[in-house]
């Protein structure tokens, strides 16, 4: 019962302790993690947006520069000037020294024919562009940038064409640019191992060669950004994996820059922080749990100890008042018996005195009478011993120091139990060292000690057995050793540590208070001695008491 009560109490205490420690910790952890992950995700989105815008600016700047260069040349020269191939060659050379992006340059008149051409493909001079889309578009809008195409050259390139006029005659300055340059600028936006970046046109056709998202002139993997009007960042799943895509429209062309990012790579620091935080959190919880466990355990142990002590104290008070009442009764009975015993003794003595005066042989029965009187005297003496012992036990005194002969005290105690042991056929042997030193101790308390141990031994044996008592003096430690051994059933190992605990009993309910051995222990301790127990199941139990000789 008590164990269940203490267990429930312990569970309550540990639950409250853990609850009050863990709930705020968990709440704090979850809140911090949530806030951290939200702001970190925001930061990842923002970074991607910024990166994409930076790349867009670089591309725009590139186109801006090329267009300005060509526009400047077209508007500061006449058709006639630029039709001079030697002059154009010089000009192209100058342009090439600043930027290697140009493949060739050509001047085309309104009829679509080359007036001049500088570049690695002189055969192009014979081509007429009048019906080409880019030619018409350049004439109508003034500046035209084409999509990337393979064309006659069989490698990806695009053209920039600007229109100018000499008098009424419009003409076109056209330059071809290797799209490797664009690829290089775009590639700088590829982040991490799985990141990608590419340009698409308004038909969602790839204008550059991405790392993973498809082939140039094909459709890219992922969402279609060809119709976006403003920059956007969006999450998209490919093969079950989530990616972030940012897209933005270039200013000078119809192209759209798309940057793809693996959020797991970008979130690595966050994930690492989360793992560290998780383990710290786990460690914290573990520490709290361990701390709570040990603190509450020791609290409970202390509580149980205090409870037990208090209960033992109360029980001792009850026990001693019971003993006091019993003592009074015993003393009363002893007194009432002692008086008639005294009369019987005296009368028997008187008969003996009188018989001594009679002539020997004067009565045949004289010898018989003498014997009878002797027996009366002997039994009065025996009864006297019983009443005196009863009185000795009834006396509950404060511990006093007196001269104690251990052998005599043991003998008296054994005599007291003689009837009980004879009835149960238990033989009690005393093997005492005759010249034991006299102890300064309390004989009635020691009697109680021996009585409790012997009573337990008799109870343990039940019937038919023996108890061996041995006393000896140990000069080395100046102690008297008293050994009380029975051949009873013995004490199981798991109980051996508890037998001196108050209220520990293996006797039936109502038969034992569980106080006997605890009283023994406290008396021996009070008298400055010590008590040891050794037991073997099936062999018996031996109590060994050591008392100091002062």
Partner 1 sequence: MAEDYTILIVDDEEDFRETLVKRLQKRNLKAFGAESGPKALKLMEAMTFDVVVLDVKMPGMDGIDTLKEMKKKSPRTEIILLTGHASLESGIQGMELGAFDYLMKPVNLDDLIEKIRQAYERKLVQEQEKS
Query: Which residues contribute to the site for partner 1 (CB under 8 A)?
Result: 331, 334-339, 341-347, 349-350, 353, 380-381, 384, 388, 391-392, 394-395, 397
| Count of Cβ atoms closer than 10 Å to residue 6 Cβ | 15
Neighbouring residues of 251: CB distance < 8 A, sequence distance ≥ 6:
56, 60, 63, 64
Closer residue to partner 1 (CB): 64 or 353: 353
CB of 397 to partner 1, least distance (A): 8
Closer residue to partner 1 (CB): 303 or 337: 337
Q: Tokens representing 398?
A: 């404060």
Closer residue to partner 1 (CB): 25 or 351: 351
Distance of CA 281 to the CA centre of its chain: 10
Closer residue to partner 1 (CB): 169 or 339: 339
CB of 389 to partner 1, least distance (A): 10
| Count of Cβ atoms closer than 10 Å to residue 205 Cβ | 18
Residue 203 to residue 146: CA distance in whole angstroms = 13
Closer residue to partner 1 (CB): 396 or 530: 396
Neighbouring residues of 453: CB distance < 8 A, sequence distance ≥ 6:
484, 517, 520, 543
The answer to whether 483 touches 543, Cβ cutoff 8 Å, is yes
CB of 449 to partner 1, least distance (A): 21
CB of 429 to partner 1, least distance (A): 30
Neighbouring residues of 216: CB distance < 8 A, sequence distance ≥ 6:
148, 156, 206, 207, 208, 209
Closer residue to partner 1 (CB): 327 or 488: 327
Closer residue to partner 1 (CB): 375 or 507: 375
Alpha helix locations (H) across 77-132?
Answer: 79-83, 85-98
CB of 320 to partner 1, least distance (A): 17
Q: Is 395 left (phi over 0), alpha (psi -120 to 50) or beta?
A: beta
Closer residue to partner 1 (CB): 262 or 442: 442
CA-CA-CA-CA dihedral for 376, 378, 382, 383, to nearest 10: 20
Q: Tokens representing 111?
A: 């009829």
Closer residue to partner 1 (CB): 286 or 400: 400
CB of 344 to partner 1, least distance (A): 8
DSSP H or E stretch at residue 372: helix 366-394
CB of 387 to partner 1, least distance (A): 8
Residue 429 to residue 466: CA distance in whole angstroms = 8
CB of 396 to partner 1, least distance (A): 11
Beta strands in 85-183 (DSSP E): 102-108, 114-118, 143-145, 157-166, 169-178
CB of 346 to partner 1, least distance (A): 4
């Amino acid at each position: 019962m008590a164990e269940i009560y203490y267990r429930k109490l312990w569970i309550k205490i540990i639950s409250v302790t853990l609850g009050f420690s863990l709930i705020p910790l968990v709440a704090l952890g979850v809140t911090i993690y949530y806030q951290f992950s939200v702001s970190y995700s925001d930061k990842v989105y923002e970074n991607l947006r910024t990166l994409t815008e930076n790349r867009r600016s670089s591309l725009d700047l590139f186109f801006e520069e090329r267009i300005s260069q060509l526009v400047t040349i077209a508007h500061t020269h006449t058709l006639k000037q630029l039709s001079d191939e030697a002059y154009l060659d010089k000009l192209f050379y100058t342009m090439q020294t600043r930027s290697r992006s140009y493949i060739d340059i050509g001047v085309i008149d309104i009829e679509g024919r080359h007036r001049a051409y500088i570049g690695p493909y002189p055969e192009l001079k014979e081509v007429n562009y009048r019906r080409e889309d880019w030619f018409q578009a350049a004439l109508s809008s003034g500046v035209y940038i084409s999509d990337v195409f393979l064309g006659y050259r069989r490698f990806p390139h695009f053209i920039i064409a600007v229109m100018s006029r000499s008098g009424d005659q419009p003409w076109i300055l056209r330059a071809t640019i290797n799209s490797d340059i664009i690829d290089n600028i775009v590639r700088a936006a590829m982040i991490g191992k799985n990141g990608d970046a590419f340009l698409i046109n308004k038909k969602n056709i790839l204008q550059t060669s991405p790392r993973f998202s498809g082939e140039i002139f094909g459709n890219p993997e992922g969402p279609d950004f060809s119709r976006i009007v403003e920059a956007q960042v969006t999450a998209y799943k490919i093969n079950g994996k989530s990616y972030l895509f940012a897209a933005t429209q270039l200013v000078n062309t119809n192209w759209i820059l798309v940057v793809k990012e693996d959020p797991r790579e970008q979130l690595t620091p966050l994930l690492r922080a989360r793992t560290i935080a998780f383990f710290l959190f786990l460690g914290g919880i573990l520490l709290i749990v361990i701390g709570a466990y040990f603190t509450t355990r020791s609290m409970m142990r202390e509580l149980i100890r205090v409870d037990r002590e208090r209960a033992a104290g109360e029980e001792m008070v009850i026990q001693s008042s019971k003993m006091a009442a019993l003592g009074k009764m015993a003393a009363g009975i002893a007194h009432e018996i002692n008086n008639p015993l005294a009369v019987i003794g005296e009368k028997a003595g008187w008969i003996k005195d009188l018989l001594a005066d009679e002539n020997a042989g004067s009565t045949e029965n004289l010898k018989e009478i003498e014997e009878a009187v002797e027996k009366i005297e002997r039994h009065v003496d025996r009864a006297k011993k019983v009443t005196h012992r009863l009185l000795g036990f009834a006396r509950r005194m404060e511990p006093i120091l007196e001269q104690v002969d251990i052998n005599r005290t043991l003998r008296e105690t054994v005599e007291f139990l003689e009837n009980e042991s004879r009835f149960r056929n238990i033989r009690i042997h005393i093997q005492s060292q005759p010249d034991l030193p006299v102890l300064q101790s309390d004989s009635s308390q020691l009697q109680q000690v021996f009585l409790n141990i012997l009573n337990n031994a008799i109870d343990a044996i039940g019937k038919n057995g023996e108890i061996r008592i041995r006393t000896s003096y140990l000069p080395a430690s100046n102690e008297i050793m008293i050994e009380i051994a029975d051949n009873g059933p013995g004490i199981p190992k798991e109980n051996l540590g508890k037998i001196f605990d108050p209220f520990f009993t293996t006797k039936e309910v109502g038969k034992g208070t569980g106080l006997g051995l605890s009283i023994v222990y406290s008396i021996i301790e009070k008298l400055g001695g010590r008590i040891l127990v050794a037991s073997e199941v099936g062999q018996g139990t031996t109590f060994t008491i050591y008392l100091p000789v002062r």
